[in-house]
Structure formats: C-alpha cells, structure tokens
C-alpha cells in the first residue's frame, strides 16, 4: 500500500508502504494487534530511503512493490554516454519483425535462465547449472534496478545466457530468410559475429567467490590505489590474474611467468568449485603457432610500454578516467533500464508468469544467503529510489556515422598490428 502526500517546496514528503504479514489474513483475536505491526518504511522526497532490515519470515508475495514515484524536479536529465547507442544496434535484428513469443521460446534452447517482470515483480526459471552464482547475482542486479526506478520498468520476458562466449552466431541465421531473425538472447558478451544482446556483467554487484567487491566500492579502491603510487615509481611488471584452465592459451600463458618476461601471472585456485564444470568445458584445440603468437604479442605490448612510458601513462590515465566517469553505477542501471524498455517496445505479446517460474525479491535473496554473499548483497543494495530520471537515451547511429566508427576501429586495430610486427622484429631472436 502506498500513501503519497502532496508536497510543497521546502516541505518534507512522506511515502509509507506496508508489508502485509500472513497473520493479517487470519480471523484471530490478535489480528488487529498483528496488523498494527506491519512493516512501515519512510521515504523522504529528497533522500528517499528503503529500510535495510528485512523480515525473513515474509515471502515475496507478502510484499507490495513500491509504485511509481515522481522524479519531476524540473531538472532535465543528463545525456547518456555514447555507448548507449549500441542498444539500438543490438536490437536492430528485430526492428522490422518485432519479438514474438515463439522467438523467445526458441532462445530457451541455449538459455540458462528465464527472467520475467510482470507488474514490478520478478520471476525466474532456471534451465541449466550456472558457474558459481552468476545467475543469482544477475537477478539481484535487476531487482536493484526495480528498487531504483520503482514502477517504471515495463513487463518483459527475456532469456539469459550466463556463459563466457556468445551463443547466437550470425552464420547460423544469415544463410536463410526462414531462420531470420534470430532468437533474442541476453548475455554478458557479444561480438561482430554474433547476435547476443549485451547486458551488464554480474560482477558489478560483486563476485563473492573471488572476493571482488561491488562496483561502487571497487571503483573507489581502484582510484585510491592509482593515487597511492606515482606512475614513475611503479615497477615495470605486467600482471594478469584469472582462471588459467579455461583454455589452452591461458594455460600456456603460465609459461610466461618467469623473470626474463617481467610478468606476474596469478592463477585463481578453483579447488572449491565443482569439478564437473571444468571437466565438461569443451576446449578448442589450439594451433601451436597461435600459442606462440599470443606469447609474442604479450611480450611486445609489455616491451612497447617500457619504451614509451609517457604514451603508456597517457593510455592508463585515459582508461582510468573513462572508468571513473563513464562507468558509474548509475549509468550501469540506466543502460539496463533503457535496454529493457527498448526491448519491451519490440515485444508482440504481453508477458505472463511461466508455470515453472518462482518469484524472487531483494528480501528473500538477502535472507537466503550467508557470509560474503549476504555482505555483498547488502553493500550493493539500492538504498534510495532515484530522485531523478534515467539519463536521456541517445538516438541510434546514422548509417554513415556507424560506418565511419567501424572503419576507424578497423584502421586503429590494423595500426596496432603493424606496431606489434615492427616491435617483433627486434625480439625475433628471442626464444619465446
């Protein structure tokens, strides 16, 4: 239940909403007393705050989601970063046909989870085992989006893939008009040869298995770390950390962990993870020359950085600035918001709750975990409904504009390759 009081300038506005306890449906003598204990939260107009405490005896169905809160503060919303334009490009395959229920069901064949939002409530169904907790953290992120912009998210029905590689390959759907458009699949990654719809990575809300903190905290830590040691005082080492057993190329990278390479290769210990996931992962058989090329290119990049310290520092500063300014969590949420809204406009049917789906909410996701998972979810939980609208979505690229962008990217890549080749000549006699 929401009780919205009219506000006046300079006057605090109160919004109260209640969580209805199951006993309020009974006819016991204690009903009135029980109902008086309903959870009441206060939201302030300029600093609206959710309660940080949850009643773990409640189910999602006992909780009424907050309805639309006006964010009209007479301040125009800021423009979204340019990369939001790629939302239009990712959804372009369905621009003319729209998205039908049959298309979404077809995507189920390669999906790990189904996420459905109906009337501000989130329902999910899991089809496959997912590595670690990627699916759960992704769902958590969408729930926080619902808290940030209550009542403003459309009803959607999406299929989601939680793996490391795109799965909707263009060559599988471009050969026949009967196969086009492809099934819409949301994913953390995409490339020029796939139709996967890119969605923010789960780790923005923390990666508890690796103790990687939620993004807002991690971003501050990175900024503090960058300012701790001057660039000129840093040791000239290349550093990489990750799962070394996801591919043969990564395994071979471990061979670079020697003093002559000035590298630090830190492999993650997955001993506590399910062995079956690694055993069932299908490695692509490498070509020896490709492995050699990877190691040579890594060394070339490192040597180039040592020889061009000023340029390397400029690249580092530009990258750090981009992360701090263009990848604020607010923009991550706004990207999700606009992507889901644009996707919903293409839908040719009204989403309904699937038979096998279960409802999840922030309360149950916090109450159902312990340790670092609970800590990270509490740290990344949206505390305040937004007091401003999402950033203004940019229009799509003009055809010539997109063509110029891709051509510039192609030329820059070619130029880097030429630099690599020129540097390789100098180290051709090295045994690598």
Tens digit of each residue's pLDDT (9 = 90 or more) over 77-100: 899 999 999 999 999 999 999 999
Residue 188 shares a structural domain with residue 97: yes
Going by C-alpha positions, the residue among 283, 273, 272, 201 that lies closest to residue 245 is 283
331-348 pLDDT per residue, tens: 999 999 999 999 999 999
Say if residue 171 is in the same domain as residue 197. yes
Higher pLDDT, 398 or 253: 398
Same-domain status, 230 and 280 = yes
Final residue belonging to a domain, choices 286, 305, 325 = 325
Split into its structural domains, the chain has a count of 4
Q: Which of 34, 62, 90 is the last residue of a domain?
A: 62
Q: Are residues 238 and 293 in the same domain?
A: yes
CA separation for the pair 78, 159 (Å, rounded):
31
**310 and 299 within one domain:** yes
Whether residues 230 and 302 share a domain: the answer is yes
Evaluate whether residue 428 is within a structural domain.
Answer: yes
**Is there a single domain that holds both residue 195 and residue 335?**
yes
206 lies in the same domain as 96: yes
Strand partners, 44: 14
> Which among 89, 64, 144 has a CA at the least distance from the CA of 336?
144
In a domain, 40, yes or no: yes
Q: Is residue 145 part of a domain?
A: yes
Does a structural domain hold residue 421?
yes
Q: Which domain holds residue 382?
A: 82-210+328-398
Please report whether residue 74 resides in a domain: no
What tens digit of pLDDT does each residue of 122-153 get? 999 999 999 889 999 999 999 999 999 999 99
For every residue of 262-317, DSSP letters joined together read TEEEEE---TTS-HHHHHH--PPPPPHHHHHHHHHHHHHHHHHHHH-HHHHHHHHH
Strand partners, 18: 40
The whole-angstrom separation of Cα 306 and Cα 193 is 34
Same domain for 197 and 335? yes
Same domain, 95 and 181: yes
Q: Residue 316 has what pLDDT?
A: 86
* pLDDT at site 34: 42
More confident residue, 80 or 278: 80
What mean pLDDT comes out for the span 195-210? 93
SS3 call for 423: helix
Residue 69 included in any domain: no
- Per-residue pLDDT of 153-177, as tens digits, reads 999 999 999 998 999 999 888 766 6
For residue 57, the model assigns a pLDDT of 86
Q: What is the mean pLDDT of residues 286-296?
A: 50
Same domain for 346 and 261: no
For residues 399-417, average pLDDT: 90
Q: Are 340 and 154 in contact (CB under 8 A)?
A: yes
Are 316 and 335 contained in the same domain? no
């Amino acid at each position: 239940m929401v009780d919205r009081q009219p506000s006046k300038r300079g006057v605090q506005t109160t919004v109260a909403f209640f969580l209805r306890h199951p006993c309020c449906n009974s006819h016991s003598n204690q009903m009135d007393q029980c109902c008086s204990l309903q959870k009441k939260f206060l939201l302030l107009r300029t600093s609206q705050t959710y309660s940080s405490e949850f009643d773990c005896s409640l189910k999602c169905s006992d909780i009424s989601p907050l309805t639309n809160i006006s964010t009209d503060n007479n301040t125009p919303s800021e423009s979204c970063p340019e990369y939001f334009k790629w939302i239009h490009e990712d959804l372009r395959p369905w621009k003319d046909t729209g998205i039908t229920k049959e298309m979404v069901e077809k995507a189920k064949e390669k999906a790990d989870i189904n996420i459905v939002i109906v009337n501000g409530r989130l329902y999910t169904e899991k089809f496959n085992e997912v590595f670690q907790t990627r699916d759960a953290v992704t769902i958590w992120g969408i729930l926080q989006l619902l808290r940030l912009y209550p009542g403003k998210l459309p009803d959607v029905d999406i299929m989601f893939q939680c793996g490391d590689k795109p799965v909707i390959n263009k060559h599988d759907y471009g050969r026949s008009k009967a196969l086009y458009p492809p099934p819409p699949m949301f994913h953390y990654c995409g490339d020029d040869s796939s139709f996967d719809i890119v969605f923010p990575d789960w780790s923005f809300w923390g990666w508890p298995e690796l103790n990687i903190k939620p993004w807002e905290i991690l971003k501050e830590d990175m900024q503090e770390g960058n300012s701790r040691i001057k660039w000129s005082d840093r040791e000239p080492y290349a550093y990489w950390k990750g799962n070394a057993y996801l591919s043969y190329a990564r395994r071979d990278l471990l061979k670079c962990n020697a003093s002559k390479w000035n590298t630090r290769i830190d492999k993650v210990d997955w001993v506590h993870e399910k062995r079956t996931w690694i055993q069932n992962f299908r490695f692509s058989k490498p070509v020896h020359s490709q492995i050699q090329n990877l190691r040579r290119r890594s060394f070339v990049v490192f040597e180039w950085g040592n020889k061009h310290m000023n340029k390397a520092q400029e690249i580092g500063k530009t990258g750090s600035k981009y992360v701090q300014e263009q990848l604020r969590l607010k923009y991550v949420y706004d990207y999700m918001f606009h992507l889901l809204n644009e996707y919903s406009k293409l839908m040719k049917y009204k989403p309904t709750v699937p038979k096998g789906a279960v409802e999840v909410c922030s309360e149950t996701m916090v109450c159902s975990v312990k340790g670092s998972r609970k800590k990270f979810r509490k740290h990344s939980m949206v505390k305040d409904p937004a007091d401003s609208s999402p950033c203004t979505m940019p229009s799509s690229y003009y055809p010539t504009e997109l063509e110029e962008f891709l051509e510039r990217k192609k030329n820059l890549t070619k130029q880097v390759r030429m630099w690599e080749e020129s540097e390789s000549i100098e180290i051709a006699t090295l045994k690598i």
